[in-house]
Amino acid sequence: MTDRHTSSGPQLTRGKRLLLLTSRLWAWVFLGLMIAFFIITVPIFSGATFFSVRNSQNILVAITPVLLLGLGQTFVIISAGIDLSVGWVMSLASVVSAHAIRATFAWGFPLPLAVFSGFLAAVAASAVVGGINGTIIARLKVPAFIVTLGSSFIVRGVGLLLSENTTVIGLPNGMRDYGNESLFYWVRGEGGGFYFLERPDVTGELLRGMDRILAWPVVITAIVVLICMFLLHKTQFGRHTYAIGGNMQAALRTGIPVERHITKLYMLSSVTAGIAGFLSTLRFNAGSAVIGDPLLLSSIAAVIIGGVSLFGGAGSIVGTIIGALIIAVLTTGLVMLGVQAFVQFIVVGVVVILAVLIDQSRDLVLGRGRSRGGA
């Protein structure tokens, strides 16, 4: 699976670390240039403003599912694996959490508690899938590609079976607020102001001018991001992940419990996807057995744009965030520019490849090839 003998992040010399930092900044520069491009062109071509509070919040909400799927995937790909089941795990979790919320609410739970049990159900269901994936990959040595591809069919079938004609509806009134309301509110114009937690009771023009700042899905995703950053960059868990992806044999020789660690990685990947499914249930007020299907490719694209090497051993959480942002900024920007749909597809493809090319420059700078067995 991995036969590269290059050293990974922590063992780099000071000079190389500096180069690595520079090339990492490239992703930021790329994102910055793209935002600047839209800030300039959108007003010229459509008379609207791209750089607004509401637009930034729309983009943050839009990246949450792609980012959550990408977070777990980042760990897995750094370990030189791949998890193709995340989209369907998200769908399964969406259905399971909807059932849990509906059942516990009908059972007499207060709404916040019912929503929380939906969260627990989503996490539990996805952890089971991840545990099975990981165990087969780690202990039975079946390639991750095959295992997760196979399990995605199983998960998809189970999700559809558990759903009611693909969607679970009849969820409690008010649940929608958990997926669409926010931490802060800013009401523009006269009689407006800044509000914390409590949604201001406004109507008409004031309601139109109300911005939701840090919607709950964004807050929850941010918490998951922080946990993942801590795990990957500050703990032994993270160091082992890089080590396994960098050189599996060396990792085994140094006494890292590789099998157990790989199982945990696939559980983590499933669970972040499960949280995405839970959030989608809250946002769209229904559990959907197909909600995650189209997200697999976007999430992998985000991870790769963000600089995670498909051959393992390199990558960061911040990179994945930038990757997800690049995709989302592009979608919003192109729609606001009024670019025709088919042209949008072409532009997205070109930008994704361009972003990865720029990222590759890091490998050129560091003198390590991506070819297998290089260095």
**Contact residues for another protein, defined by CB under 8 A:** 42, 46, 48-50, 52, 54-55, 58-59, 61-62, 64-66, 160, 164-167, 169-170, 176, 180, 207-210, 212, 280, 283-286, 288, 290-291, 293-295, 328, 331-333, 335-336, 338, 341-342, 344
CA angle, 309 then 313 then 315, to 5°: 55
CB of 236 closer than 8 Å to CB of 243: no
Nearer to another protein, 264 or 283 (CB): 283
Nearer to another protein, 10 or 294 (CB): 294
Nearest approach, Cβ of 83 to another protein (angstroms)? Answer: 19
Q: Which helix (H) or strand (E) holds 195?
A: strand 193-196
Nearest approach, Cβ of 131 to another protein (angstroms)? Answer: 26
Nearest approach, Cβ of 312 to another protein (angstroms)? Answer: 29
Q: Which of 76, 192, 220, 229 is nearest to 138 (CA)?
A: 76
Q: Which of 23, 11, 10 is nearest to 366 (CA)?
A: 23
Nearer to another protein, 237 or 284 (CB): 284
Nearer to another protein, 217 or 312 (CB): 217
Phi and psi torsions of 167, nearest 5°: -130, 150
Nearer to another protein, 58 or 135 (CB): 58
Nearest approach, Cβ of 173 to another protein (angstroms)? Answer: 8
- For residue 56, the one-letter residue type is S
Nearer to another protein, 95 or 243 (CB): 95
Task: Give the CA dihedral 171, 172, 173, 176, nearest 10 degrees.
Answer: -60
Nearest approach, Cβ of 366 to another protein (angstroms)? Answer: 36
CA angle, 86 then 88 then 92, to 5°: 115
Nearest approach, Cβ of 334 to another protein (angstroms)? Answer: 8
Nearer to another protein, 11 or 52 (CB): 52
Alpha helices in the chain (DSSP H): 14-46, 53-78, 86-106, 111-139, 144-162, 175-180, 204-208, 216-234, 236-246, 248-253, 258-284, 295-305, 317-337, 341-366
Give the CA diameter of the chain: 68
Q: Is 371 helix (H, G, I), strand (E, B) or coil?
A: coil
Nearest approach, Cβ of 58 to another protein (angstroms)? Answer: 4
Nearest approach, Cβ of 287 to another protein (angstroms)? Answer: 10
Query: Residue 187: beta bridge partners?
Result: 193, 210
CA atoms within 13 Å, Cβ hemisphere of 205: 5
Nearest approach, Cβ of 210 to another protein (angstroms)? Answer: 5
Nearer to another protein, 76 or 336 (CB): 336
Distance CA 12, CA 329 (A): 33
Nearer to another protein, 67 or 127 (CB): 67
Nearest approach, Cβ of 233 to another protein (angstroms)? Answer: 28
- For residue 11, the one-letter residue type is Q
Q: Is 232 helix (H, G, I), strand (E, B) or coil?
A: helix
Nearer to another protein, 109 or 284 (CB): 284
Distance CA 270, CA 293 (A): 14
